[in-house]
């Protein structure tokens, strides 16, 4: 087993452990559990960084050069973003929803294909910009997604009159709603830039690429998030609807990425 | 003489309110009553706990039977004997300590796990301390009681989750809106129940508005709770502004109908609203719960939550009782360790052992004939007795005042005596210091004048 492989496995296991601890904290409470979970996530992040460093040192592939590496960096940014905001907002229970997303992206990044590299024809100065804004935008959306999942669960528990354990540990509905909105507000301009640069790029490429499924999902995701923001500004789409819109938007964005990953794996 | 821990009194479990209210002792009356009780009932120490749910005397006494009779007479001075008969209970020794721990931890409260009782016990203890009727045994027992109560509160679910309808409503409002500071609470119908809920919401920073059929009542409630009264005609516009609505009118049909609420939702642009319907018959059409961002809880829902929380508390009682058992064992170990008899036995053993060892050492070098040896041994014994006479007299004397336990502990430290909590050393020549080794204390702030035994 090579060093990067070892580090990869260790990182994945650390994410699993952190996720399990966060979940146990959500289920049964206890400050100790959330402390352990946060520490496990810290370890996972450290391992993740070493994995990226080792991978770069051994393969010479610069981070963000491929779709897979982008996913790798994206999952890292989400984990770091959560750990940082968790301290500020005291919302460790949300780790139960965020850590699985991180893990999934991290594992998806491992589906390395042969032609994962972006074709030479489309390389330009625009590319790193396109990737970075997308990563940051998607990281904000991923956090918003986790918050939205928590909102929907919390609202469901309130409606079903199950207001014990988990309901007590999840944050207040209004807090989740406001936090989700703020995250979408942060992610949206970044993601918009990502979509715009992507379109310029596709247009420049001309006949080569038709409107792919991946791009389709990307645009769909953008429409969902735009709706969430616009309708909230216009009034009406707060709470559950906004949460579901956020969830759908993020799933579409993931589908778009999934399209790229699978295409490059297949090709 | 030492004392035994005892509890004498009555509570909501055994006595009706009519009896309890007449026995309740006002705060300013407690010190005088305590002094009287200590005198008349032959107590070493005493703490008088008087709340609306219980009147209890926690004390140490050499003769709990006699002291209980005197305490009963104290009760009978205010309530006729036939009314008190069968209402009082008496616990002695470990049972008394267990009762004290359970009361302090809220396990004996009318609302299981309620937190006020701990403060009330602390206050009663402080009053007794100021009065000078607390010595080492009561001091240690209450201290252990406070510590176990704290553990029960924080480490078990006995005090978790609210059980009163109004605090459940407040909790739910907080789980919907986060902080309640600045939130608008609308009271529809100025009943007693809504007043309780209104007060706890405003205490968390919410702003209060009252709508009522009779404007005078609305005004009165608004003033009582620091809110504003609004006319009944303004109900729709008030609903459009409110975050939390508590409805408790005496109306027979719905005052907040589905159609009204539909319109209100549009006006408020589907901002979340929490409706609490505590009226029977109901004030709010249950169908409004299906509207977007409208959350409706009625009396049944709130009581269901209350029952669930109570059931969770009851499940936690087992753990709490285990904590109390552990604490009792700890107290018992301490009590045994400071008992006088094993300490005296150990001290005598230590001194005699040292003298005889030295004698043996010298005799083995000298080769003294047997007759002389016996005389020397007798002299050694006499020296030990002379040496110990004064300290032992002082130790026994100290049992009648505050210093008893402290002196026992000092002797144990000075002579490095190992008197562990399980020691039951007692010989025929040493009279038993306490009939109940488990909870016989060696100290007492007051003497009944019977002096040391032995």
CA angle centred on B17, ends B11 and B19, rounded to 5°: 80
Confidence of residue B433 (pLDDT cuts 50, 70, 90): very low
Confidence of residue B274 (pLDDT cuts 50, 70, 90): very high
Of A163, A173, A235, the CB nearest to B272: A173
Q: Are the C-beta atoms of residues B227 and B206 closer than 8 Å to each other?
A: no
How near does any CA of chain A get to the CA of B273, in Å?
11
Best mutation target among A163, A168, A232 (most B Cβ atoms within 10 Å) is: A163
State both tokens at B384. Answer: 């030990």
B58: which strand partners? B7, B47
Answer yes or no: is pLDDT of B194 > 80. no
pLDDT for B220: 87
State both tokens at B161. Answer: 């989750």
ipTM of the complex: 0.84
Tell me, yes or no, if B52 is annotated catalytic.
yes
B3: which strand partners? B441
Answer yes or no: is pLDDT of B273 > 90. yes
State both tokens at A133. Answer: 């804004």
The proportion of chain A whose per-residue pLDDT surpasses 90, expressed as a percent, equals 23
d(CA B43, CA B209): 56
- In this predicted model, what pLDDT tens digit does every residue of B353-401 receive, in sequence order? 888 898 888 888 887 888 888 888 898 889 889 988 988 888 877 766 5
Question: Low-confidence residues of chain A, pLDDT below 50?
Answer: 114-116, 207-208, 267
CA angle centred on B246, ends B241 and B252, rounded to 5°: 115
The closest of B35, B272, B288 to A240, measured between CA atoms, is B272
Cβ distance B269 to A235 less than 8 Å, yes or no, reads yes
The closest of B275, B274, B272, B169 to A178, measured between CA atoms, is B272
3-state secondary structure (DSSP) of residue B86: coil
pLDDT for A264: 61
Q: Tell me the CA distances in angstroms from B124 to B27, B28, B34, B57, B219, one per residue in order.
A: 9, 11, 11, 10, 40
- In this predicted model, what pLDDT tens digit does every residue of B130-181 receive, in sequence order? 999 998 889 999 999 999 999 999 888 888 888 888 888 888 999 999 888 9
Neighbours of A233 (CB within 10 A): 9
- In this predicted model, what pLDDT tens digit does every residue of B305-324 receive, in sequence order? 999 889 989 999 999 999 99
The closest of B188, B170, B173, B187 to B254, measured between CA atoms, is B188
List residues of chain B with CB under 8 Å from any CB of chain A: 161, 172, 174-178, 269-272, 289, 292-293, 295, 297, 301, 304-305, 308-309, 312
Cβ distance A174 to B177 less than 8 Å, yes or no, reads yes
| A-B Cβ pairs (cutoff 8 Å, strict) | 52
Best mutation target among A162, A166, A174 (most B Cβ atoms within 10 Å) is: A174
State both tokens at A132. Answer: 């970075």
- In this predicted model, what pLDDT tens digit does every residue of B38-81 receive, in sequence order? 888 888 899 999 998 999 999 998 889 999 999 999 999 888 88
Instruction: Indicate the length of chain B as a whole number.
Output: 454
- In this predicted model, what pLDDT tens digit does every residue of B200-248 receive, in sequence order? 888 888 999 999 888 888 888 888 888 899 988 889 999 999 999 999 8
**Which residues of A fall within a CB distance of 8 Å from B309?**
164
**Which residues of B fall within a CB distance of 8 Å from A172?**
174-178
The proportion of chain A whose per-residue pLDDT surpasses 70, expressed as a percent, equals 84
d(CA B195, CA B189): 10
Q: Tell me the CA distances in angstroms from B161 to A180, A256, B18, B198, B310, one per residue in order.
A: 28, 45, 31, 20, 8
Q: Are the C-beta atoms of residues B124 and B47 closer than 8 Å to each other?
A: yes
d(CA A103, CA A109): 10
Q: Which residue has the tokens 């090709």?
A: A267
List residues of chain A with CB under 8 Å from any CB of chain B: 154, 158-159, 161, 163-164, 167-168, 171-175, 177, 235-236, 238-241
The pTM assigned to this predicted structure is 0.72
- Largest Cα–Cα distance of chain B, in whole Å? 118
Confidence of residue B442 (pLDDT cuts 50, 70, 90): very low
Neighbours of A23 (CB within 10 A): 18
State both tokens at B98. Answer: 């267990």
* 3-state DSSP helix/strand/coil % of chain B, to nearest 5: 55, 15, 30
The stretch B389-414 carries a mean pLDDT of: 78
pLDDT for B363: 85
The closest of A193, A237, A244, A240 to A218, measured between CA atoms, is A193
Best mutation target among A91, A161, A245 (most B Cβ atoms within 10 Å) is: A161
């Amino acid at each position: 087993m090579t060093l990067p492989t070892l580090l990869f496995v260790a990182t994945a296991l650390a994410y699993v452990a952190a996720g399990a601890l966060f979940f146990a904290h959500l289920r049964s409470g206890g400050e100790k559990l959330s402390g352990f979970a946060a520490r496990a996530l810290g370890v996972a992040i450290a391992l993740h960084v070493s994995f990226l460093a080792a991978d770069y040192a051994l393969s010479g592939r610069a981070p963000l050069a491929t779709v897979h590496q982008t996913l790798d960096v994206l999952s890292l940014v989400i984990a770091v973003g959560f750990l940082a905001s968790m301290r500020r907002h005291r919302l460790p229970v949300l780790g139960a929803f965020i850590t699985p997303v991180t893990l999934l992206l991290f594992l998806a990044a491992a589906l390395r294909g042969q032609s994962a590299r972006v074709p030479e024809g489309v390389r330009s100065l625009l590319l790193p910009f396109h990737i970075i804004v997308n990563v940051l935008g998607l990281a904000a959306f991923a956090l918003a997604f986790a918050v939205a999942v928590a909102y929907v669960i919390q609202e469901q528990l309130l409606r079903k009159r199950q207001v014990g354990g988990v309901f007590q540990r999840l944050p207040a509905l209004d807090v989740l709603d406001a936090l989700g909105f703020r995250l979408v507000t942060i992610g949206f301009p970044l993601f918009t830039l990502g979509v715009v640069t992507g379109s310029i790029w596709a247009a420049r490429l001309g006949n080569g690429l038709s409107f792919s499924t991946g791009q389709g999902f990307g645009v769909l995701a953008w429409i969902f998030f735009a709706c969430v923001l616009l309708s909230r500004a216009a009034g009406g789409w707060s709470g559950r609807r906004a949460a579901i819109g956020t969830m759908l938007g993020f799933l579409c964005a993931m589908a778009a990425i999934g399209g790229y990953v699978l295409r490059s794996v297949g090709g | 003489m030492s004392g035994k821990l005892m509890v004498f009194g009555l509570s909501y479990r055994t006595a009706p309110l009519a009896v309890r209210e007449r026995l309740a002792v006002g705060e300013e009356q407690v010190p005088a009553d305590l002094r009287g009780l200590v005198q008349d009932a032959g107590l070493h120490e005493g703490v008088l706990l008087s709340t609306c749910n219980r009147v209890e005397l926690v004390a140490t006494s050499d003769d709990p039977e006699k002291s209980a009779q005197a305490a009963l007479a104290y009760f009978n001075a205010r309530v006729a004997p036939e009314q008190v008969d069968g209402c009082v209970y008496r616990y002695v020794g470990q049972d008394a300590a267990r009762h004290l721990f359970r009361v302090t931890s809220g396990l004996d409260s009318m609302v299981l796990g309620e937190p006020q009782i701990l403060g009330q016990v602390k206050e009663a203890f402080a009053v007794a301390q100021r009065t000078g009727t607390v010595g080492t045994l009561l001091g240690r027992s209450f201290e252990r009681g406070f510590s176990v109560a704290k553990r029960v509160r924080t480490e078990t679910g006995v005090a978790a989750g609210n059980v009163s309808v109004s605090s459940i409503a407040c909790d739910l409002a907080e789980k919907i809106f986060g902080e309640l500071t600045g939130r608008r609470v609308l009271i529809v119908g100025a009943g007693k129940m809504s007043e309780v809920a209104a007060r706890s919401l405003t205490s968390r920073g919410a702003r209060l508005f009252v709508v009522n059929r009779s404007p005078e009542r609305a005004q009165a409630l608004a003033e009582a709770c620091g809110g504003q009264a609004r006319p009944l005609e303004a109900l729709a516009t008030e609903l459009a502004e409110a975050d939390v609505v508590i409805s408790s009118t005496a109306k027979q049909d719905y005052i907040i109908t589905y159609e009204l609420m539909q319109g209100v939702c549009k006006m408020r642009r589907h901002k979340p609203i929490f409706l609490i319907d505590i009226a029977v018959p109901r004030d709010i059409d249950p169908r409004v719960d299906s509207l977007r961002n409208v959350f409706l809880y009625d009396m049944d829902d709130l009581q269901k939550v209350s029952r669930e929380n109570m059931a969770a508390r009851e499940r936690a009682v087992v753990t709490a009782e285990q904590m109390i058992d552990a604490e009792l064992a700890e107290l018992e170990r301490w009590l045994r360790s400071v008992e006088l008899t094993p300490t005296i036995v150990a001290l005598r053993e230590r001194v005699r052992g040292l003298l005889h060892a030295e004698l043996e050492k010298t005799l083995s070098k000298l080769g003294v004939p047997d007759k002389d040896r016996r005389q020397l041994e007798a002299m050694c014994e006499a020296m030990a007795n002379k040496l110990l006479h004064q300290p032992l007299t002082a130790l026994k004397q100290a049992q009648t005042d505050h210093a008893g336990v402290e002196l026992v502990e000092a002797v144990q430290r000075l002579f490095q005596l190992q008197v562990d909590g399980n020691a039951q050393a007692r010989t025929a020549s040493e009279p038993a210091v306490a009939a109940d080794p488990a909870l016989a204390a060696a100290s007492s702030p007051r003497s009944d004048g019977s002096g040391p035994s032995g």
